[in-house]
Structure 1
Amino acid sequence: MQLELAADELKSVLNRLRRAQGQIAGVIKMIEEGRDCEEVITQLSAASRALDRAGFSIIATGLEQCLTEEGQTVADKDRMRARLEKLFLSLA
């Protein structure tokens, strides 16, 4: 299944991923500088949340597309829903 995000959804997902990218770069720098463990973990947690939210958004969009796509059989939709559910659970 090819994912097609609407422009506003794409912008939101990319912003979350860029935020996570910046946070991870910050974490690397903090570790290299020997910063406080609590500060490092706080930044890691923030990056993890940003990645999770981007993933959930992508999966939700995929599920919506799967369930509304015309021309698919019930079996096709069930298989796709199962695949998306597995992806969702991998993020949980």
Structure 2
Amino acid sequence: MVEPRQSAMQRIQVGVIGLVVVLLFVSLANMVLDRVQTGPDAVAAGNAKAEIDPLAPPDEPLAELGVTPVAKDDGAEKALEEPAQSIRQVPSRAP
């Protein structure tokens, strides 16, 4: 039979090995995620953008998001209605 002291040591060893394995997996995942976020392409693109003007706001932030605002132009609607009204007001000539 297994002595209580041996059983306790075996449980401690398994626990410590398990903690080391989890720590290694977390460290490896962290390194991979850091490498993906700050890869060479991302660093080069960031440097190119910073060379232009680092303090300038983006030119078209909505366009960068893929959203375009639609502005209602009242002047265009009136321009379309006015010619139709002026045509109605022209007197017809009878021969």
Decide: shared fold, TM above 0.5: no
Q: More helix per residue: 1 or 2?
A: 1
With the shorter chain as reference, the TM-score category is 0.3 to 0.5
Larger Rg: 2
